[in-house]
């Protein structure tokens, strides 16, 4: 190609480019794809957003349905879970002797037996319902209780008319019951409490040793918040408050709020209850 031909080609190309630009400028516009909608980040921290989600009655209702299917029980309604649970307590001091008739306290029938060198406490539920239960015992200073071999049992729940045998002490009686408490609970609540670490309802090592709860693919944390622990030590929070909360809330999702107290009337609180400080 000669220089003259090259120059003519450049000039022709320039003329075509000017014509295209002029056409676009005065005769039309280039078609561009629509601008995607602006994505706005949800307000609040991730913890606040999680709290808002779990506080939703609809989310809670879905948990009840799913958990009831896993437990093989009827799914309660949100209203069912907001009802008062019957509570019984006996804080008188009762002595238990071998061979004596059982005593009945707070819906429980109690007696002691000797198994080898150990004294064991037999606890029977006399109520027509599953119950969460708490039995506090002590013995005389002449009896050793720390060395008793644990027996496997459920330290959290006694099913309707069920029975548990708890290792107490080595040596002989008497054994003293200083407090007994029960809370009547529906079947799904029994399922919830059987998954719960005993420390989360304030059970001491003596009471809870040997406990065998329900196994689950999603275990609950055994860490009690410091503010709840201090409330328990001061007596501001009790076993009943902790059991009442966790009987209504799955421990994998909900954590006991330090301000929570047991429900004393149907519909007294909206369920679920979440810590507003989160």
51-84 per-position pLDDT tens digit: 568 899 999 999 999 999 999 999 999 999 999 9
pTM for the full model? 0.80
152-165 per-position pLDDT tens digit: 999 999 999 999 99
Q: Is 62 exposed, middle or buried (0-12, 13-18, 19+ CB in 10 A)?
A: exposed
Q: What number is the average pLDDT over the span 118-144?
A: 90
Residue 277, pLDDT score: 57
225-238 per-position pLDDT tens digit: 999 999 999 999 99
Residue 217, pLDDT score: 79
Q: What number is the average pLDDT over the span 15-42?
A: 48
Domain boundaries, the chain: 46-246
Residue 214, pLDDT score: 83
Q: Is the pLDDT of residue 18 over 50?
A: no
Residue 155, pLDDT score: 97
Residue 171, pLDDT score: 73
What sign for the dihedral angle of Cα 195, 201, 202, 206?
negative
Q: What number is the average pLDDT over the span 213-232?
A: 90
Q: Is the pLDDT of residue 91 over 50?
A: yes
Q: Is the pLDDT of residue 7 over 70?
A: no
Residue in this structure with the two tokens 């561009």, named with its chain if needed: 32
Q: If you average pLDDT over every residue of the chain, what do you get?
A: 85
Q: Is the pLDDT of residue 246 over 90?
A: yes
Q: Is the pLDDT of residue 26 over 70?
A: no
């Amino acid at each position: 190609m000669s220089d003259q031909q090259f120059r003519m080609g450049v000039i022709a190309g320039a003329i075509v480019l000017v014509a295209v630009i002029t056409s676009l400028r005065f005769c039309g516009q280039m078609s561009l794809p629509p601008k995607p909608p602006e994505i706005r980040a949800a307000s609040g921290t991730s913890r606040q957003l999680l709290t808002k989600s779990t506080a939703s009655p609809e989310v809670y209702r879905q948990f009840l349905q799913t958990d009831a299917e896993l437990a093989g029980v009827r799914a309660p309604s949100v209203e069912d879970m907001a009802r008062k649970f019957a509570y019984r307590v006996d804080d008188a001091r009762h002595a238990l002797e071998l061979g004596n008739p059982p005593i009945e306290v707070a819906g429980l029938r109690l007696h002691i037996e000797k198994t080898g060198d150990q004294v064991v406490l037999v606890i029977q539920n006399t109520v027509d319902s599953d119950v969460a239960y708490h039995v506090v015992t002590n013995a005389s200073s002449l009896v050793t209780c720390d060395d008793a071999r644990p027996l496997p049992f459920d330290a959290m729940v006694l099913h309707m008319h069920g029975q548990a045998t708890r290792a107490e002490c080595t040596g002989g009686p008497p054994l003293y019951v200083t407090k007994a408490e029960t809370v009547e609970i529906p079947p799904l609540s029994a399922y919830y409490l059987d998954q719960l670490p005993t420390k989360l309802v304030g059970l001491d090592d003596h009471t809870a040793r040997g406990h065998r709860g329900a196994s689950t693919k999603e275990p609950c944390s055994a860490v009690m918040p410091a503010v709840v622990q201090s409330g328990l030590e001061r007596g501001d929070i009790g076993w009943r408050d902790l059991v009442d909360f966790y009987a209504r809330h799955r421990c994998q999702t909900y954590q006991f709020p330090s301000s929570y107290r047991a429900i004393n009337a149907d519909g007294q609180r909206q369920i679920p209850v979440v810590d507003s400080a989160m």
